[in-house]
Amino acid sequence: MSFMDEFPGAIAPPPAEAPYYEPVGDEVAVFEAAWRSRLPVLLKGPTGCGKTRFVEHMAWRLGRPLVTVSCHEDLTASDLVGRYLVRGGETTWVDGPLARAVRAGAICYLDEIVEARKDTTVVIHPLADDRRLLPMEKRGELLQAPPEFGLVISYNPGYQSVLKDLKQSTRQRFVALEFDYPPEPLEARIVEREGGVDAETAARLVRFGRMTRNLRGQGLEEGASTRLLVHTARLIAAGIPPRAACRAAVARAVTDDAELVAAVEELAGTVF
């Protein structure tokens, strides 16, 4: 079993080139100010709207390595902090991704934090206030975060429920940034650049995507995200007919309901 099998999240050094990101408002300035002020950041927004790309862009912009952890219901505090492992007959301590990020002065991004167990999220509380400490109880150690360390969490408010929502004791430790799908001209520019299609095709895809979002609450939990529109564009750029690309990358991706799949395909037919 490799180290990466034992723990999620790896330290990724800043890439040579900036990850592509188009600012919508003042989110870049607010994030930079929060990082320099040693304040943790909460990103709220629907799936596929650019939250992860934004964090990657900001890590590059600030020249910091990035540790990303995709949270899930089985994620334990030990998965984040670390644990003792037996290797070659010897018991050794291995840091988890959160501890490694703190030691490296990296930016640690906990994606979809509400998916993690409630007793797991509590471990970030001392890191997210003025103490900036990570308790490592199994080692009897308090790890002090250096000035360069940054903590970022995200979640999708559209999926929140009584069981999956952030406690006030957690959310009130963070500076919050609200994300949504970009304005139509900007989203078309993103789809054109990231999807490798011409401007007219990108504009049609965005129009189609917005039509699917109007079906939210009418059977669909979510319409086509910007990410799915980029996927559709890449299929088109690879030679797949537009309607077939919309069917594969959007209609069948957002729902398993045959009637809703047909409804989304019909929307694609009105655009293409």
Q: What is the mean pLDDT of residues 212-236?
A: 92
CB 158 within 8 A of CB 222: yes
pLDDT digits (tens, 9 = 90+) for 237-261: 999 999 999 999 999 999 999 999 9
Quote the pLDDT of residue 9. Answer: 59
Token duo for residue 232: 């559709």
Tell me the three state secondary structure of residue 225: coil
Tell me the three state secondary structure of residue 62: helix
Residue 46, judged by CB atoms within 10 A of its CB (0-12, 13-18, 19+), counts as buried
Residue the block writes with tokens 């600030």: 62
CB 198 within 8 A of CB 237: no
Mean residue pLDDT of the chain comes to: 91
Residue 217 has pLDDT above 80, yes or no: no
CB 110 within 8 A of CB 155: no
In DSSP terms, 176 is beta-bridged to 42
pLDDT digits (tens, 9 = 90+) for 48-68: 999 999 999 999 999 999 999
Tell me the three state secondary structure of residue 180: coil
> What residue type is 60 in one-letter code?
W
Residue 2 has pLDDT above 50, yes or no: no
Instruction: Tally helices (H) and strands (E) across the chain.
Output: 13, 10
Quote the pLDDT of residue 3. Answer: 38
Residue 187 has pLDDT above 70, yes or no: yes
Residue 121 has pLDDT above 90, yes or no: no
